Amino acid sequence: MPLSIRRATLADAEALSAIAIATYTETWGDSYPPQDLHDFLQAHYSTVPQQQELADPRSAIWLLHEGDAVVGYLAAGANTLPHADAAEGDIELKRLYVSARHQGSGHGARLMDTFMAWLDHPQRRRLWVGVWEDNLGAQRFYARYGCRKAGEYDFIVGASRDREFILCRP
Ligand SMILES: CC(C)(COP(=O)(O)OP(=O)(O)OC[C@H]1O[C@@H](n2cnc3c(N)ncnc32)[C@H](O)[C@@H]1OP(=O)(O)O)[C@@H](O)C(=O)NCCC(=O)NCCS
């Protein structure tokens, strides 16, 4: 079945929460103690925070569908990454996830192309992305879109501090 992409609306908070929790757990679930993971997911990816993210006029979120099922998503919004050059109006790619069984088939690139078209219309905006220092696949992926390393920061989940690279597309 061909997969389709559509912009998420406020009515998608539950579906967005479900795919955000499923893909985060699939990707990083073994990296944190279960309670830390649970608390992080509830605080950031449960329905209420996802509703708030969808309601923010600076947010833009797309869902990847296989029929009725959501199998990936891309979430962007106002930049919050700590960098001296970051300015009002800059956009952050906050999360990009495709379910493991659909990875490597170009769907991540299609989500990214959809997002980049939005980002650069009606005029080009500066893009920030945070990515784990050891996630070389994702770094290669973002490099294809002109994102280059501009700094580093710590991403905190419970007691864990992960070193993340801050990438920027000027
Ligand atoms: C990153 C991701 C969204 C790319 O989507 P995709 O549909 O697999 O990507 P595409 O098929 O369009 O492109 C393939 C490219 O994605 C990257 N990639 C592939 N598998 C990956 C993985 N498991 N983790 C990270 N990046 C990966 C690579 O750059 C790959 O190119 P390569 O062939 O040169 O290695 C997807 O792999 C994913 O969800 N990974 C896990 C979550 C993640 O790391 N998200 C980014 C965190 S910020």
Ligand 1 pocket, residue 62 CB under 6 Å = no
Q: Which protein residue's CA is at the shortest distance from atom 22 of ligand 1? A: 137
CATH number of this structure's domain 4-169: 3.40.630.30
Atom 36 of ligand 1 has which residue's CA nearest to it?
98
137 Cα: distance to centroid of ligand 1 (angstroms): 6
Quick one: pLDDT band at residue 157, thresholds 50, 70, 90? Answer: confident
Q: Is 96 in the pocket of ligand 1 (CB under 6 A)?
A: yes
Instruction: Decide if pLDDT at 160 tops 90.
Output: no
Output the pLDDT for position 83.
95
Secondary structure (DSSP) of 82-123: --TT--TT-EEEEEEEE-GGGTTSSHHHHHHHHHHHHHTSSS
Closest CA to 164 of 144, 149, 145, 146: 149
pLDDT tier for residue 92 given thresholds of 50, 70 and 90: very high
| Domain boundaries, given as residue ranges, for the chain | 4-169
Decide: 37 and 157 in contact? Cβ < 8 Å. Answer: yes
Interval 96-137: pLDDT, tens = 999 999 999 999 999 999 999 999 999 999 999 999 999 999
Q: Which atom of ligand 1 is nearest to the CA of 95?
A: 48
**pLDDT of 159 over the 90 cut:** no
**Whole-prediction pTM:** 0.94
Atom of ligand 1 nearest to the CA of 107: 7
